[in-house]
Amino acid sequence: MPNQATMDQPTPATATPALPERGRVRTVIESITPQVDGGRFAAKRIVGDVVRVEADVFTDGHDAVLCRLLFRRAGESGFTSAPMEALVNDRFAGTFTATQIGRWEYTVEGWVDHFETWRRDLRKRKAAGQDLSLEFVRGEQLVLEAAGRATGEDARWLAQWATRLADTALDPEQRYAAAVDTSLAALARRYPDPELVARHDTWLPLTVDRERARYCAWYELFPRSCSPEAGRHGTLRDVAARLTDIAEMGFDVLYLPPIHPIGETDRKGANNAVTAQPGEPGSPWAIGAKSGGHKAVHPQLGTPEDVRFLVDEAARHGIELALDIAFQCSPDHPYAAEHPQWFQTRPDGTIQYAENPPKKYQDIYPFHFETAEWRKLWTELKSVLDFWIRHGVRIFRVDNPHTKPFAFWEWAIGEVKREHPDVIFLSEAFTRPKVMHRLAKLGFTQSYTYFAWRNTHWELKEYFTELTQGPGREYFRPSAWPNTPDILPEYLQFGGRPAFMVRLVLAATLAASYGIYGPAFELMEHEPREPGSEEYLDSEKYQLRHWDLRRPDSLRDFVARVNAIRRDNPALHSDWSLRFHPVDNESLLCYSKTSPDDGNMVFTVVNLDPHHTQAGWVELPLAELGLDPARPFQAHDLLSGARFLWHGARNYVALDPQQAPAHIFRLRRRVRSEQDFDYFM
Amino acid sequence: MPNQATMDQPTPATATPALPERGRVRTVIESITPQVDGGRFAAKRIVGDVVRVEADVFTDGHDAVLCRLLFRRAGESGFTSAPMEALVNDRFAGTFTATQIGRWEYTVEGWVDHFETWRRDLRKRKAAGQDLSLEFVRGEQLVLEAAGRATGEDARWLAQWATRLADTALDPEQRYAAAVDTSLAALARRYPDPELVARHDTWLPLTVDRERARYCAWYELFPRSCSPEAGRHGTLRDVAARLTDIAEMGFDVLYLPPIHPIGETDRKGANNAVTAQPGEPGSPWAIGAKSGGHKAVHPQLGTPEDVRFLVDEAARHGIELALDIAFQCSPDHPYAAEHPQWFQTRPDGTIQYAENPPKKYQDIYPFHFETAEWRKLWTELKSVLDFWIRHGVRIFRVDNPHTKPFAFWEWAIGEVKREHPDVIFLSEAFTRPKVMHRLAKLGFTQSYTYFAWRNTHWELKEYFTELTQGPGREYFRPSAWPNTPDILPEYLQFGGRPAFMVRLVLAATLAASYGIYGPAFELMEHEPREPGSEEYLDSEKYQLRHWDLRRPDSLRDFVARVNAIRRDNPALHSDWSLRFHPVDNESLLCYSKTSPDDGNMVFTVVNLDPHHTQAGWVELPLAELGLDPARPFQAHDLLSGARFLWHGARNYVALDPQQAPAHIFRLRRRVRSEQDFDYFM
């Protein structure tokens, strides 16, 4: 038999394979949330939000683990920390409040807490009646080590605690009391050995926006149709005159399609006719003419100074102005002559117009982002944003962002928000889901959704559950639009007045952010250009319209009522609390939202059938909503003002679309006042 | 009005904010699978596996996107590529075959395919009757660009194609035919402009093991109980004499608990008595004595040379030897005297023994991995693995890996597998889920599971669905054990012979890798040390046992039959195809597995109630299993040999546990032979 003892000799150090740097660090940190693509992109929150960060933190063996959340404004070198509490299954949670808008970042640290391990075990030893004298010496060592890492008052306190633990003159019960003292534990845990602390290897980014990024109601209109006189081209000053009405309807963002000079070459006529007749105004999206491009205002609308005036006037009405950013040019745009290299050239030397073969859009030149001069192009396009920001604009609705490179938007939005963190970008992309998500991830503040095409109970439930509960909710903030100048959905074409009411209630209560294209919406414009089309007949995209805003059948007051309900009920100011509830009639849709403090509960029931009365039994999750199943509660319909006294989870609802196709209930708990009578709050 | 044209001038270059390096690259690559923690850890496969890689790949706008999968052995600088095919929703898939064991890596490239975009659009233009002459010139340009990037024969071919496209003497139909020629498209797509190609920013790692990493049947025994004579200490030579029997039972791994010298200090006695009586052998996990430590063999068992002999003998029987790695020491281990700094010292200067307060394990010294000498300690522990590898061992079962640092295992397993990629590590961790998963991620080849404590229909279905369909399946390879020397589950204590049969069938058919601790298992050892305990009475952990292997009630033949069924049916060699099927009796569990080529289908029905006959209607997903609902099929019970002719999805099953508590059906489709008679295959 060989000499076994010799065989146990360590292998010579020369044979050592490469060892990690910090092999003594035993704690593991995994699966931090929120986290978007491993920290490649930022999660999004609103200023004032309590940001909850969770992580799996554990170590080998049975030692106690501590961890903490580190957070800071991006760019700072220091950080603030917050303790993390153990949940179940090795998961911990901590929070911090996002006190300012801008970019933040956070990460997690964890370590084996030797003092806490010792303290926990000491309790068990005591309970088992073991002799603790050696343990007190070990405790003294641990506290002295912590004292050595502490400074000032803490160091002195820890040293005093150590002395007490070591004091053999004391009664063992007194030493034990000192050892398990919670203030000692709280002090000791603040000074882990930095050599043994694990930190997640990256700081995770967070974008903190102002509240309007999550909660807003948009009103879109064409300024050129705003003239009070039929036939006259409207101006930005005419738009200013509309602000009182828009504010009374309860909107807080006014969004204008492009306001720039419109090209003459290959200008489209009414109803998208290939050739405009003389005097026809053309499409506002054919941007650029002799009088300027993206930094100019159409001469018939006004001047950039009028934009500043409109911004200020709107602000006085509690409204923000949103401009359209459509990065494309008419053939008459100054860029086309001055920077032909920013466009693709056809083999015949002309600039390539937009095409979706076999369709041709000769009035539009798309930019060629693969140009060797991409740096100049990007810089110039960003300067367009800067230009309007200088004129007071803080919200941009971006037209077709998915036809420009993702990298461009990430850079441009990143740079703008670095300089102006209050700027909001709405992504107009009704394209493939992953493209829409990428745009949201890379920085767009809000995103249009497929809401316009989701009509049935199943569709709406599935889609809004995905939007509000799926992983994308960390970065994709939905905006629901029942109509846009490009989308007149079939439901609105055939459903009559109830259809408009249904879609408005759905948009305004399912989504914290929504918008309508008016006055087409409140005046229930519903004729398509041709059967099967979602284009409006006589669309404002190609011609002036004069709207009779005082038409007695206008939905103006209904819109105002719905927006007032939104404003009064914090439950409707965010999306994550949305929950759908069972109902035994698929023509009805039932859902609730609650405010973060649970003080405000809104329960909405919508009849999706615009033609027939539908009725059914709805089922409320009383426990989830904090309602006592043994006591009646009040369902206060904020639309009609009616109040119902409901008992238990199942309640009956009937909705006649000709009367009111929806209830927006505020649920009120019955509580007993100090004066000993019941009331509902 | 200001001069608008001037305002459209680009901002001077000096104002340019930092631009990205490759702004012309428009393609995005996201969500590559498989991917473990963003590539921090390797996914796992078996040699010969077709590795399917998927990714979301898309670009802005409507251009055609191409992508390809790049793969290589880790450490190589070049790579091989494979095309990726479009699925739905911007997802692409490609495959490569893992032809060798070891570490591989893969990534994905994507780019806008201008030629394909042009070709696709050309077809639409043609269909719309547009003039194509300019388009042919554009096509010529694109093909010439590709030719410029190609070399040799390809470059010449592309140049010829370009000439053909440009040839105005040709009939337009001929030029069109050339333009849309599939061989031109195939050639052109091979030469994208490298400046426009996006590549995912990391190579994702993949560990490729030999087949036994995924499919194996383990048999565990205590060598010291292997003597044919009662009362004599068994030897490794005695174990060799058992190999024929073990091979006949169908096992392919023989696993021995620690075979090293056993400490004398504080040695435990029979049934874990605190003090051993003279002559008692002690626990094999109290490793180390005067005669050596982890690189020595217990003198009564033999020598390291006997290990080599046993490895070779086992190989002749188609069996591999697995050794236990328990990194802990008895107080008599040479390390304790030679390297006291590798252990924690108590305040009285003695070495800290293992504790789980108030319990004390004075016969065990755990290593202190936070020691300043951790580098020496790690290196020495790895040298233990190297030592046994030099003696021919290629499989290690690691005892309590979760009580040693994760970083240590990641390093040690990584280094061993770099040198010996055929080595297999089984993680013995019955601890918290995230700890078990971390061990699997960092490199353990296989992992023990909670199978021993999953008994009911719901428990088994939930747990094995998670194991085989959850995201952890990429790295966590389950091993199912009905019993171990530490675990005598209550189900086996009280269920009698049927319980052992049930648990064996479940382990062997739910999991491609499983093991039993014998002969305790086949001899149905079921007495616990005390009521409520999962410890065996008279456990081999603390004493020698003499087993009557010829007992007529031994399950030996049943075990052999089940293992033969496993061997004959490729469906049982992997786990991902596992699917549970509905049955109207919760005491029955029904599930199927299919081979990758669908040629082999195994459908198992187990009566989980060891006391009563249970019957019910099972429901087979005929379409999923490729069975024609209009034709009968054969359910061939491989356990009993009986064949049933079944029709349709619902079929009746009754199982008397006293007879046979399970069916393991091979399902055979009825097919028509060339000689025009039906048979089942």
DSSP states of A203-270: PEEEEEE-GGGTSEEEEE--GGG--SSTTSPP-HHHHHHHHHHHHHHT--EEEE---S-B--TT--BG
What is the per-residue burial (b if ≥16 Cβ within 10 Å, else e) of B649-671? bebebebebeebbbbbbbbbbee
Please tell me which of the candidates B137, B379, B402 has its beta carbon nearest to residue A11: B379
Residue contacts between A and B (CB atoms, under 8 Å): 241
User: What is the sign of the dihedral through the CA atoms of B478, B483, B484 and B486?
Assistant: positive
Contacts of B369 in chain A (CB under 8 A): 24, 26, 60
Cross-chain Cβ contact B402/A60 below 8 Å: yes
Structure tokens of B289? Answer: 């004595």
A73 Cβ contact partners less than 8 Å away, ≥ 6 residues apart:
A100, A102, A103, A104, A105
| Residue listed under structure tokens 């004066």 | A675
Contact indicator for A546, A227 with CB cutoff of 8 Å: yes
> Does position B103 have pLDDT exceeding 70, yes or no?
yes
Question: Which one, of B470, B502, B476, lies nearest residue B489 by Cα?
Answer: B502
Average pLDDT of the residues in B188-210: 96
How do residues B579-602 score in pLDDT, each as one tens digit? 999 999 999 999 999 998 878 999
Q: Is B128 on the interface with A (CB under 8 A)?
A: yes
- Residue among B38, B303, B403 minimizing CB distance to A60: B403
Residues on chain A touching B10 (C-beta within 8 angstroms):
339, 376, 379-380, 383
Question: Cβ distance B180 to B207 under 8 Å?
Answer: no
Res A631 pLDDT > 90:
no
Q: Are A299 and B4 in contact (CB under 8 A)?
A: no
Whether a cis peptide bond, with omega within 30° of 0, leads into B519 is: yes
What is residue A630's predicted lDDT score, i.e. its pLDDT?
A: 86
Strands in B34-79 per DSSP E: 43-46, 50-58, 65-73
* Overall average pLDDT of the B541-567 stretch: 97
Return mean pLDDT, chain A. 94
**For the segment B476-491, what is each residue's pLDDT rounded down to a tens digit?**
999 999 999 999 999 9
Q: Which residues contact B203 (CB under 8 A, 6 or more apart)?
A: B39, B105, B106, B107
B-contacting residues of A 25-64, CB under 8 Å?
A: 25-26, 28, 30, 37-38, 56, 58-62
- Around Cβ B528, how many Cβ atoms within 10 Å? 17
State the pLDDT at residue B453.
Answer: 97
Beta strands A395-399; A633-637: pairing state: unpaired
Residue whose pair of structure tokens reads 């370590």 in the numeric block:
A111
Which residues on chain A are in Cβ contact (under 8 Å) with B300?
none
- Interchain contact B356–A (C-beta under 8 A): yes
Catalytically active residues of B, by annotation: 399, 428
- Nearest by Cα to B409 from B428, B422, B390: B428
The reported pLDDT for the residue numbered A597 is 86
Residue B220 CB partners (closer than 8 Å, separation 6+): B254, B255, B256, B257, B484, B485, B515, B516, B517, B518
Q: Tell me: the pLDDT tens digits for A164-211?
A: 999 999 999 999 999 999 999 999 999 999 999 999 999 999 999 999
List Cβ neighbours of B104 (8 Å cut-off, separation of 6 or more).
B51, B71, B72, B73, B74, B98, B205, B206, B207, B208
- Alpha carbons A60 and A515: distance in angstroms, whole number: 53
Task: Judge whether residue B172 has pLDDT over 60.
Answer: yes
pLDDT of residue A149: 97
- Count CB-CB contacts under 10 A for residue A653: 19
B619-671 residue pLDDT tens: 998 888 888 888 889 999 999 999 999 989 999 999 999 999 999 999 988 77
Structure confidence at residue B389 (pLDDT): 98
Contact A633/A595 with Cβ under 8 angstroms? no
pLDDT of residue B681: 58
Q: Is B630 exposed, middle or buried (0-12, 13-18, 19+ CB in 10 A)?
A: exposed
Q: Which two tokens stand for residue B362?
A: 């004075």
Query: For A216-225, A669-678, B273-282, B652-661, which range has the lowest pLDDT when averaged over its residues?
Result: A669-678
Per-residue confidence (pLDDT) for residue B5, from 0 to 100 = 38
Whose CA is closest to A449, among A515, A517, A390? A515
The two tokens of residue B669 are: 């489709």
Confirm or reject contact between B378 and chain A (CB < 8 A): yes
The pLDDT of residue B631 is 86
Percent of chain A with pLDDT over 70: 96
User: Which pLDDT belongs to residue A513?
Assistant: 98
Q: Which of B339, B348, B357 sits opposite A125 (nearest CB)?
A: B357
Nearest C-alpha in B relative to A201: B40
A432 touches chain B (CB under 8 A): yes
CB-based contact, A128 to chain B, within 8 Å: yes
Confidence of residue A463 (pLDDT cuts 50, 70, 90): very high
Q: List CB contacts (< 8 A) between B19 and chain A.
A: 375, 378-379, 411
Instruction: Return the residue in B4, B415, B419, B466 with the most chain A beta carbons within 10 A, the one to mutate for interface testing.
Output: B4
Q: Which among A196, A299, A406 is the nearest to B370, CB-wise?
A: A196
Q: Are B681 and B671 in contact (CB under 8 A)?
A: yes
| Any A CB within 8 A of B355 CB | yes
More confident residue, A313 or A678: A313
Listed in sequence order, the residues at least 6 apart from A182 whose beta carbon sits closer than 8 Å to its beta carbon are none
Q: Is the pLDDT of residue B150 over 80?
A: yes
Annotated catalytic residue within A399, A522, A540, A575 = A399
The strand pairing partners of B36, in sequence order, are B41
- Residue A199 one-letter amino acid: R
Tell whether omega for the bond before A205 is within 30 degrees of 0, i.e. cis: no
Question: Which alpha helices (H) appear in A297-373, and where do they start and end?
Answer: 304-316, 334-338
Query: CA of B649 to nearest chain A CA: how many angstroms apart?
Result: 29
Q: Which amino acid is at A629?
A: P
Which of A20, A292, A434 is opposite residue B7, by nearest beta carbon? A292
Helix (H, G, I), strand (E, B) or coil at A286: coil
Strands A424-428 and A395-399, by their bridges, are: parallel
Residue A325 has pLDDT above 80, yes or no: yes
> How many angstroms separate the CA atoms of A145 and A509, rounded?
57
Look at A89 and B10 and tell me if their CB atoms are within 8 Å.
Answer: no
Q: How far is CA B300 from the centre of its chain?
A: 37
Q: Of A24, A380, A411, which is closest to B10 when you measure between CB atoms?
A: A380
Residue burial B21-52, b: 16+ Cβ < 10 Å; e: rest: eebbbbbbbbebbbbbeebebbbbbbbebebe
* Mean pLDDT for all residues in chain B: 94
A56 is catalytic: no
Q: Of B64, B53, B66, B65, nearest to B93 (Cα)?
A: B53
A245 to A219, A248, A319, B24: CA distances (angstroms):
11, 5, 11, 46
Please say if the pLDDT value at position A12 is more than 50.
no
Using the beta-carbon criterion (under 8 Å), do B358 and A128 form an inter-chain contact? Answer: yes
pLDDT of residue B680: 65
pLDDT at B676 over 80: no
Cβ separation of A16 and B402 shorter than 8 Å? Answer: no
